[in-house]
Amino acid sequence: MGAGPGDPGLITVKGLERLRKADVVIYDRLIDDSLLEQACPEAEKIYVGKGRGCHALEQKEINLLMVSKAREGKIVVRLKGGDPFVLGRGGEEAEILAANNIPFEVMPGVSSAYAVPAYAGIPMTHRRLASSFTVITGHEDPEKGMSSIAWDKISTGSDTLVFLMGMGSLAKIVRQLIKNGRSPSTPIAVVSQGTSPEQRTAVGTLEDIINLTKKAGFEPPAVIVVGEVVRLREHLRWFDNLPLFGKRVLVTRAEYQASELSKLLLECGAMPIQMPVIRISPPPTWKELDQIILNLKSYGWIIFTSVNAVEMFWKRLNSMNLDSRWLSGIKIGAIGPATSKALAEKGIHPDYVPKIYTSQGFLAELKKADIAGCRVLLPRADIAGNELTDGIIKLGATVKQITAYKTAISTKGVSQGKRMLLRGEIDVITFTSASTVNSLLAILGQEWEVIKQVKLACIGPNTAAALTHKGLKADIVAAEHTIPGLVEAIEQHFKG
């Protein structure tokens, strides 16, 4: 199966479907980790990547591994970068399976040969400039003895030339092209880390490209494009023009909540670094919440302040063989569109959602509702503040605040983010709650002042206030207190 050139969104629909059914995934070096997460959690994942001078397994061992796992009766996905049949040794591996009478499918992938140039704004063909293109390996099998590339024919025989795996052979490629008739002034582009937020592009001519890439410190993997179409990059570049291109953004949300924010950041060209500093867990006992649910009819309102509260509340409903009908006759309030959406997925459309998604905004508009004398249930986190509770009481209602979930510091998966933060490799830290602020500072300990060198982005004023309380100042505060609003605010900050 071809996984595409790097951007995990470039895997095919059919490929993703097969990946999710795999019992074993045998994967290469340049596979994005998020693709591995698409496989079944129980699937065995085996790394067989190869880098220059460093092979996890030799090719013969990879072949043996595929055969042995298949003979165990397992569904095996051999996950390769780009397209497995385009300079990817997929044909050789398929031959081994055929020789061992093992049935197999071939899932084509988006090849880096044209995808990486496309992300750099370079088309392979153009009616005015190029009617043909040729894909050539930049790294031939050293055991062949002599090159099988017909330099005298390909140098001038095709309008556009694309070399894969050629970064280490760039000097040789340039030398052979000029020697065999290509003009030294021919445009050439070298695209490193293509389709990822780390993508870098050097544009020059055959005459000066070696010095340009050396000066810029280009390293593999890289795709080399030679031809007049390279001139179009100046007008067609789009990926590295995205508003947050190349920005490293630390995502501190709980692990299972981070995907939406990371996805939006990727769409803006940023590189999300997930460092979940909090974890959400059930309370020590469900006894009190279960008892309240059984006596729910005594409440006039239930107010949900987060998606977590909705999920935990419905988890207990379901455990007692109850569903949304149990809430009939009770008014429902929700702070923010995400919480409202979570309720809608349970079949509940809130009676009240404030225009401003904060406790203050909720209270300001709640004054219009007649809640005096009502009993209000507030399922929340164990560390939630009392501002909302006190405000509802001032409106004449009786409030029962119950712990629906616990928020604690998480140390799982923080190492990479912490290392990058301490090395000054993070551009922005995102905070989506006061607990993410407090937890990150606790994890950093005596090294907490490092975050003063980074842009701090908060989902709303309450989260920004948590920074202020710690003697810090938010650089970016979302006008709309949602995840899309937070990304929009970061985008506008860097545009400004």
Task: Show which residues are catalytic.
Answer: 28, 50, 165
How far apart, in Å, do the first and last CA atoms of the chain sit? 43
If phi over 0 gives left and psi between -120 and 50 gives alpha, with beta otherwise, what is residue 321?
Answer: left
The vertex-244 CA angle with 242 and 247, nearest 5°, equals 135
Tokens matching residue 217: 């410190």
Q: What is the distance between the alpha carbons of residues 453 and 427, in angstroms, rounded to a whole number?
A: 9
- Across 398-460, the runs of DSSP E, i.e. the strands, are 398-409, 428-431, 455-458
Q: How are beta strands 428-431 and 248-251 bridged, if at all?
A: parallel
Q: Is 36 exposed, middle or buried (0-12, 13-18, 19+ CB in 10 A)?
A: middle
Tokens matching residue 41: 């959690």
Q: What is the distance between the alpha carbons of residues 384 and 9, in angstroms, rounded to a whole number?
A: 37
Q: How are beta strands 222-226 and 160-164 bridged, if at all?
A: antiparallel
3-state secondary structure of 298: helix
Helix (H) or strand (E) holding 271: strand 271-274
CB 253 within 8 A of CB 432: yes
- CA of 282: how far to CAs of 286, 346, 405, 408, in Å? 8, 20, 5, 11
Those residues with Cβ within 8 angstroms of residue 130's Cβ, 6 or more apart along the chain or in another chain: 123, 124, 159, 160, 227, 228, 229
Rg of the Cα atoms in the chain: 28
Name the residue type at position 20.
Answer: R
β-sheet with 278-281: strand ranges across:
278-281, 398-409, 375-381, 301-304, 331-334
Q: What is the distance between the alpha carbons of residues 495 and 182, in angstroms, rounded to a whole number?
A: 41
Q: In terms of residues, how long is the chain? A: 496
Neighbours of 440 (CB within 10 A): 23
Evaluated on CA atoms 199, 204, 206, 208, the torsion sign reads: negative
CB 249 within 8 A of CB 428: yes
At 404, give phi and psi (nearest 5°).
-95, -20
CB 454 within 8 A of CB 428: yes
